[in-house]
Structure 1
Amino acid sequence: MVRTTPPRPVNVVAVFPEVAEMARTATRLHPRRGHPTVHDSSVGGPLLWPADEAWPVCAAGGDHEAYELTTLADVRTLRRILVAAWARPRSPRTNLLTAEEEAVVDRIHDGYPLRELPGGPLPMIPVAQLYARDVPDLPCPEGMDLLQVLWCPFPDVENSSSAMHLRWRRSADVTDVLRRPPEPAFVGGEDYVPFPCLLHPEQVTEYQVNPETHPELAERFYRWIREQELNYDGDLSIAPGWKIGGWPARWTFTDPPAPEYWRCEECGAPVDALLTIDSSEWDGASGSWRPLEDDPDEPGYPSAYWATMVTIGRGYTLQVYRCTNSVEHPPLTFMQ
């Protein structure tokens, strides 16, 4: 099913033509629960990975930042139980789960002692796979048509760029696919395990008026926003949810780093926004971005606004930046 972002409440370019210079296109990925294959663009799905190519591992080895431990098998079991429970009819005042299901869920929520986390490298897990044919704003290097994103499923990914791995490739080159990728013995919580989703990409236009680069325009623009009692951050600027390209997610709980940090750690080249990983597809402040096809009251698990079941920090975003000089260089990431 396609997903369609409603028109913005106000056409800011009609009021301030200068803002057109600050437009960027972004592709909202609109991940929704599905059963992706290696040939699909997906979040949390299997990757078109060559059987003879090494699988990425976490650089932190056994020194992961961890506050809880669970396993991928337990996460999958928990989700299967909840998907089935929400799908079956039940009478009023009837428990969502059966007694047997509650026992399994309680056991999974108990987790495992942190001391059981093994030392040595742990395999990363798939986060996203994006084919250029599906994602208009995907900045593929020449000759390549596929981006694969993996990460360490621990809190490390929120504060360490080395916890994420980007792999660009030419899909036609992969003739022998790795059928059983290695998996880590433990993960640092369900929040770091994306629910398998198919994508419904949609290109949108974003605007960002920066007071530092356009002070005079910004003063007039934001004064008008206040006078009109508009919600600039929530309705008129940057699209929420998972997306490729566009403007980076806005900074929420902290200020942006100093300019010297906005460069590739490998070569010093400028970086540009590549992928935004969001904790929800919309929220109370950005509800106007909810696609027309999504009913916020529709029952089911997981809900459309939290289809990936990924939570960054306390509901923030993880912004992934790419080196503009070389696809071989590691990404730069910030929790924003």
Structure 2
Amino acid sequence: MTRTTPPRPLDVASAFPELAGMVRTATRLHPRPGSPTVRESSVGGPLLWPAGEAWPSCSAEHDAPFPLNTPEEVRTLRRIRAREEWTDEDHAEVSRIHAGHDPSLLPEGPHPLIPVAQLYARDVPDLPFPEGTDLLQVLWCPFIDIEDQPGTDAVQLRWRRAGEVAEVLAAAPEPAYVGTYELVPVPCVLHPERVREYPAAHDLSPEQAGRVPRGEGEGAAGYRGALSVAPGWKAGGWAAPFTFRDSGGPEELRCGECAAVGEPLLTLDHSEWDAETVSWRPVEEAADASSTPTEVTVGGGYTLQFYACPADPRHPPVTVMQ
């Protein structure tokens, strides 16, 4: 099933001509739980990974303040939660999983990374694919401090040419434990859709920001919620709004390799829509549809944005929690 974003409640370019030249195209990924294959774009799905290429790992020391779970326990917990009725055994298993394992059991690194997203150029043309590549793979180490690990290998990108992968890795390595199941994406198929975006308020001049509407409440035509940046998981476009803090400006987006200011690459949002952004809910979705299909939560439900180096997208991304 395709996913279609409703028209915006206001034509931004007509209402605010000074913003007309600031429009960008983004690709809303519209992830929904499913069974993607290595030949498909996905969130949390299997990767088209060469059998002879080493699987990436993270050597950083991670904070583990909560009881740990194995990846298989995360999958088991989700299977049980999806059932309409639970048996006594189900309740006992959920209690056991919630109790978790002592963080002291966490082995010293390196820890194998887990797949976050796989994006083929045919589905997401709004990404800066380096010449000769048509596939982007994103992996991370599922611990709560990933957004505070600049310059480490906790988040890694792989740009490759899909046609050059002859033999595919049969089974990817997994970390012994994950820091939180909220950083393990539910395997999702994608329903890509290109949309037009305008910059969030922090990317506007003070004069521009003062002119845009600030509607409040569910369905309101406020600039932040309805007229500027699409919510949910997306590729390209503009940076997500800052919520719990102010933007650090260009300085916090500088590439660690060459100091170029990064551009939005991938946005990982807790929800596909909420009360403020409900006007972005696809027309095909029922009012009671789940707005959290990936079950990924960063921080307290914030947005994690990956910024790519415009000089060379192969440089390590900058990650910012917004």
- Above 0.5 in TM-score? yes
Q: Quick check: 1:148 aligned with 2:137?
A: yes
Aligned to 1:22: 22
Aligned to 1:52: 52
How big is each residue's C-alpha offset from its partner over 1:256-281, in whole Å with a ceiling of 9 and x where there is no partner?
12533321111112211100011111
Aligned to 1:271: 262
**Inter-CA distance 30–99: structure 2 relative to 1 (3 Å threshold):** same
How big is each residue's C-alpha offset from its partner over 1:30-70, in whole Å with a ceiling of 9 and x where there is no partner?
0001001100100000000011111111131xx21112211
**Inter-CA distance 217–311: structure 2 relative to 1 (3 Å threshold):** closer
1:225, distance to aligned residue in structure 2 (A) = 4.8
Gaps of 5+ in 2: none
Aligned to 1:207: 198
Give the alignment of 1:245-324 within 5 angstroms. 245-298=236-289, 303=290, 305-324=291-310
Q: Distance in 1 between matches of 2:48 and 2:316?
A: 20
Decide which of 76, 97, 106 is 2:95's aligned counterpart. Answer: 106
Alpha-carbon RMSD? 1.7
Q: Distance in 1 between matches of 2:32 and 2:188?
A: 5
Q: Quick check: 1:128 aligned with 2:128?
A: no
Q: Distance in 2 between matches of 1:3 and 1:33?
A: 14
User: TM-score, normalization: structure 2?
Assistant: 0.94
State the SS of the aligned residue for 1:19: helix
1:327, distance to aligned residue in structure 2 (A) = 2.9
Query: Aligned AA for 1:297?
Result: D
1:6, distance to aligned residue in structure 2 (A) = 0.7
Q: Distance in 1 between matches of 2:215 and 2:70?
A: 48
Kept after mapping to 1: 8 A contact 2:120/2:134: yes
User: TM-score, normalization: structure 1?
Assistant: 0.90
Kept after mapping to 2: 8 A contact 1:241/1:276: yes
Query: Aligned AA for 2:302?
Result: Y
State the SS of the aligned residue for 2:104: helix
Kept after mapping to 1: 8 A contact 2:70/2:178: yes
Which entry has the higher C-alpha Rg, 1 or 2? 1
**Inter-CA distance 218–252: structure 2 relative to 1 (3 Å threshold):** closer
Moved more, 204-213 or 25-34: 204-213
Gaps of 5+ in 1: 87-95
Aligned to 1:330: 316
Q: Distance in 1 between matches of 2:262 and 2:304?
A: 15
Q: Distance in 2 between matches of 1:189 and 1:183?
A: 14
1:158, distance to aligned residue in structure 2 (A) = 2.3
1:215, distance to aligned residue in structure 2 (A) = 3.9
Query: Aligned AA for 1:100?
Result: E
Q: Distance in 1 between matches of 2:149 and 2:197?
A: 28
Q: Distance in 2 between matches of 1:138 and 1:208?
A: 17
Q: Distance in 1 between matches of 2:250 and 2:199?
A: 18
Q: Distance in 1 between matches of 2:13 and 2:315?
A: 37
Q: Distance in 1 between matches of 2:88 and 2:196?
A: 49
Kept after mapping to 2: 8 A contact 1:246/1:273: yes
Kept after mapping to 2: 8 A contact 1:235/1:286: yes
Q: Distance in 2 between matches of 1:213 and 1:119?
A: 45
Q: Distance in 2 between matches of 1:73 and 1:287?
A: 34
Q: Distance in 1 between matches of 2:148 and 2:286?
A: 34
Query: Aligned AA for 2:71?
Result: L
Q: Distance in 2 between matches of 1:242 and 1:33?
A: 13
Decide which of 165, 177, 185 is 2:168's aligned counterpart. Answer: 177
Moved over 4 A (4+): 209-213, 224-227
Kept after mapping to 2: 8 A contact 1:22/1:209: no
1:213, distance to aligned residue in structure 2 (A) = 5.6
Query: Aligned AA for 1:134?
Result: D
Q: Distance in 1 between matches of 2:94 and 2:234?
A: 32
Kept after mapping to 2: 8 A contact 1:318/1:333: yes
Q: Distance in 1 between matches of 2:104 and 2:45?
A: 30
Q: Distance in 2 between matches of 1:288 and 1:326?
A: 36
**Inter-CA distance 211–269: structure 2 relative to 1 (3 Å threshold):** closer
Kept after mapping to 2: 8 A contact 1:19/1:209: no
Q: Distance in 2 between matches of 1:105 and 1:80?
A: 10
